[in-house]
């Protein structure tokens, strides 16, 4: 049976990272909110180990997340992290305190006393701390296995029951030996052997869907982005022509992109693909609209309408498939972040089409894992490593009103910029790069004549998560070539500027 670790989520900020680190060590890990799984389900779930995550609460808060303390006695090893360690200590009968001056934040020297968790970890190393409360008295049968200058109990364990707790965060790279500690927990303590890999995952998923979806008609909205593309290929391998992919081309894609998506999926992979060329429809709806959020709303709504009309023609659909990936699931579960821009992905479809069930084959995967599967399934590199592209497409990169003329200008300028980045081999040093057509016209000169044309802004950012981003320090020569080609090859563009704002304060997209 497949090895897996349960991450019991108490609301900490690094929970996704814990799952990611564990999977990097080739053990499957799934995150479950602490109040959405019962002790019985955990016992029967076939878990090799459990991680209690951190969380914002104090164990003494009246609304503090707690769990059935029976979990400590079911014979499954536990690693408590930060709040998770405090909760474990508290549940087992120890004392947690929030005395003033005991909080620690940031890189901290930790002294470990050696136990199974700290095998191959030096007695003195750096860890990442972020806590106010601390474990004052360990519970009976527990011993302290690490401390810091400020924290008498930075780690503890009850080796007999295989219960371990660390006050710091091993999942964060600032904890120098964090990966070693997680490795020790998984392999020495939980007895995992590290068999999780993407190849097996893909093969197992295909086999599972072949059974589960046998004889059913499945519909998927394909955008050409990496998530929906990989979901489509995976399901196609499982059920072939019973999968119908509808590709709504709203005309706001990059130059030639619609044709590329169609060729790849229909001609190369033989998918049953319906492409709907709806450019006119979208442009009509967008005529005269200048406000960014309104553009997004119109595109989102129109997209659903087009998709719905097409789906109706297909007759009975049993299953709607979606390319939702793990961070989408977790982020939408929280839903407490302020809305800076409403992001329309092809996620909000279910209300309008009648179907019996939804399937999300990538629901448990991180982006890099999705890319790995895509590569294994033979998806072209260009699609696997595709930079993110907003659902509303070039509409949010044309400032002001969108017209057919402006759209073509932007597609051409953007294509040149991308060609230059690719030509210089810089695709890997920048996370997202594109052209923006500003609404600003300025004076230029060509030969002896005065010209008056658009200003294009080039944007390139470097980021891990797109929550914050640095503007990419592109070489001047590349900017120079892009600028001179854009102004020479595209009439009506007289000026090119480079955006040197990071996020924050700016966002990645201009609208």
Q: With binding defined as CB under 6 A, does residue 393 bind ligand XMP? A: no
User: What mask, x for binding ligand XMP by CB under 6 A, covers residues 338 to 357?
Assistant: --xx-xxx------------
Bridge partner residues of 458 (DSSP): 435, 498
Q: Indicate the residue among 338 and 445 with the shorter CB distance to ligand XMP.
A: 338
Q: Which is nearer to ligand XMP, 166 or 396 (CB)?
A: 396
The window from 16-24, 130-138, 325-333, 500-508 that contacts ligand XMP (CB under 6 A) reads: 500-508
**Contact indicator for 310, 262 with CB cutoff of 8 Å:** no
Which residues are paired to 328 by β-bridges?
A: none
The DSSP output letter for 70 is G
Stretch of 16-24, 79-87, 355-363, 388-396 lying at the interface with ligand XMP (CB under 6 A): 388-396
Tokens of 235: 């399901």
Of the candidate spans 48-56, 330-338, 389-397, 452-460, the one that interacts with ligand XMP by CB under 6 A turns out to be: 389-397
Residue 390 binding ligand XMP, by CB under 6 A? yes
Give 87 or 246: the residue with its C-beta nearer to ligand XMP: 246
Which residue in the block uniquely carries the two structure tokens 């929970």?
15
Number of residues that bind ligand XMP (CB under 6 A): 17
Contacts of ligand XMP in 278-297 (CB under 6 A)? 296
d(CA 5, CA 253) in angstroms, rounded, equals 41
In 19-86, the DSSP E strands lie at 28-33, 49-52, 78-81
In the complex, the smallest distance separating the C-beta of residue 298 from ligand XMP, rounded to whole angstroms, is 12
Which residues are paired to 78 by β-bridges?
A: 50, 163
Strand extents, DSSP E, 190-292: 218-221, 243-249, 272-277
Give least dist CB 510 to ligand XMP, A: 8
Is the CB of 146 or the CB of 396 nearer to ligand XMP?
Answer: 396
* Dihedral sign computed on CA atoms, order 70, 76, 77, 83: negative
Q: Which of residues 290-329 bind ligand XMP (CB under 6 A)?
A: 296
CA-based end-to-end distance of the chain: 49
Report the alpha-carbon angle 179-200-240, nearest 5.
140
Q: Determine, following the binding rule CB under 6 A, whether residue 388 of this chain makes contact with ligand XMP.
A: yes
Q: Which stretch binds ligand XMP (CB under 6 A): 90-98, 306-314, 387-395, 436-444?
A: 387-395
Instruction: Give whichever of 30 and 470 is closer to ligand XMP, judged by the CB atom.
Output: 470
What are the DSSP calls for 160-192, one per residue? TTTEEEESS-TTSTTSTTHHHHHHIIIIIIS--
- Distance in angstroms (rounded) separating the CA atoms of residues 510 and 110: 45
Q: Is 432 in the site for ligand XMP (CB under 6 A)?
A: yes
For the CB of residue 337, give the shortest distance to ligand XMP in the complex, in Å: 11
Residues acting as catalytic residues: 82, 169, 171
Residue 500: HSE in the Cβ half-sphere, 13 Å Cα cutoff: 7
CB-side exposure of 44: number of CA atoms within 13 Å? 5
Q: Report in angstroms how near the CB of residue 296 gets to ligand XMP at its nearest.
A: 5
d(CA 134, CA 274): 59
Asked if 509 is part of the footprint of ligand XMP (rule: CB under 6 A), the reply reads yes
Closest distance between ligand XMP and the C-beta of residue 378, in Å? 26
Between 70 and 504, whose beta carbon lies closer to ligand XMP?
A: 504
Q: Please say which residue, 363 or 492, places its beta carbon nearer to ligand XMP.
A: 363
| CB distance 320 to 355 below 8 Å | yes
Q: Between 191 and 388, whose beta carbon lies closer to ligand XMP?
A: 388
* Helix runs in 128-225, H state only: 178-183, 198-212
**Least Cβ distance, residue 399 to ligand XMP (angstroms):** 13
507 touching ligand XMP, by CB under 6 A:
yes
Contact 78, 34 (CB under 8 A): no
Q: Is 391 in the site for ligand XMP (CB under 6 A)?
A: yes
Q: Give the footprint of ligand XMP on residues 455-474 (CB under 6 A).
A: 466
State the Cα–Cα distance between residues 263 and 276, nearest whole angstrom.
14
How far is the C-alpha of 187 from the C-alpha of 468, rounded, in Å?
35
Q: Which residues bind ligand XMP (CB under 6 A)?
A: 296, 340-341, 343-345, 388, 390-392, 396, 432, 466, 503, 507-509
């Amino acid at each position: 049976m497949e090895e897996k670790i349960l991450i019991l989520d108490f609301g900490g900020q690094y929970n996704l990272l814990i799952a990611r680190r564990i999977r990097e060590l080739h053990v499957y890990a799934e995150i479950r909110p602490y109040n959405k799984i019962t002790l019985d389900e955990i016992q029967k779930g076939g878990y090799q180990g459990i991680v209690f995550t951190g969380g914002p609460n104090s164990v003494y808060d009246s609304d503090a997340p707690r769990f059935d303390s029976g979990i400590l006695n079911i014979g499954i090893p536990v690693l408590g992290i930060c709040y998770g360690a405090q909760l474990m200590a508290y549940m087992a009968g120890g004392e947690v305190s929030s005395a003033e001056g005991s909080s620690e934040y940031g890189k901290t020297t930790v002294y470990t006393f050696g136990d199974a968790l700290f095998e191959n970890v030096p007695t003195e190393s750096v860890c990442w701390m972020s806590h106010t409360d601390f474990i004052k008295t360990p519970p009976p049968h527990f011993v302290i296995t690490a401390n810091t200058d400020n924290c008498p109990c930075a780690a503890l364990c009850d080796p007999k029951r295989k219960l371990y707790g660390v006050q710091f965060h091993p999942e964060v790279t600032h904890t120098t030996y964090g990966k070693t500690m997680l490795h020790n927990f998984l392999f020495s303590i939980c007895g995992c052997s590290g068999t999780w890999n993407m190849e097996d995952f893909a093969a197992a998923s295909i086999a599972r869907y072949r059974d589960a979806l046998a004889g059913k008609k499945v519909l998927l909205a394909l955008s050409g982005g990496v998530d929906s593309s990989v979901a489509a290929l995976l399901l196609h391998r499982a059920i072939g022509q019973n999968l119908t992919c509808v590709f709504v081309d709203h005309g706001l894609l990059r130059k030639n992109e619609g044709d590329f998506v169609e060729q790849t999926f229909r001609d190369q992979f033989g998918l049953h693909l319906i492409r709907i060329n709806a450019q006119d429809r979208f442009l009509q709806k967008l005529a005269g609209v200048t406000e960014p959020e309104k553009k997004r709303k119109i595109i989102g709504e129109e997209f659903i309408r087009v998709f719905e009309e097409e789906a109706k023609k297909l007759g009975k659909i049993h299953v709607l498939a979606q390319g939702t990936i793990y961070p989408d699931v977790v982020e939408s579960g929280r839903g407490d972040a302020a809305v800076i821009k409403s992001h329309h992905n092809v996620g909000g479809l279910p209300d309008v089409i009648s179907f019996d069930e939804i399937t999300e084959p990538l629901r448990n995967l991180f982006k890099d894992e999705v890319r790995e599967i895509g590569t294994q399934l033979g998806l072209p590199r260009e699609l696997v490593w595709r930079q993110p592209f907003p659902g509303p497409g070039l509409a949010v990169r044309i400032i002001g009103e969108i017209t057919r003329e402006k759209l073509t200008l932007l597609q051409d300028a953007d294509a040149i910029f991308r060609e230059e980045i690719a030509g210089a081999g810089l695709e890997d040093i920048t996370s997202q790069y594109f052209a923006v057509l500003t609404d600003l016209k300025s004076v230029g000169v060509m030969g002896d004549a005065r010209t008056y044309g658009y200003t294009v802004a080039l944007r390139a950012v470097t980021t891990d998560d797109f929550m914050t981003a640095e503007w990419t320090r592109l070489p001047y020569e590349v900017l120079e070539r892009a600028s001179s080609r854009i102004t020479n090859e595209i009439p009506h563009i007289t000026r090119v500027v480079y955006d040197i704002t990071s996020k924050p304060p700016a966002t990645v997209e201009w609208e």
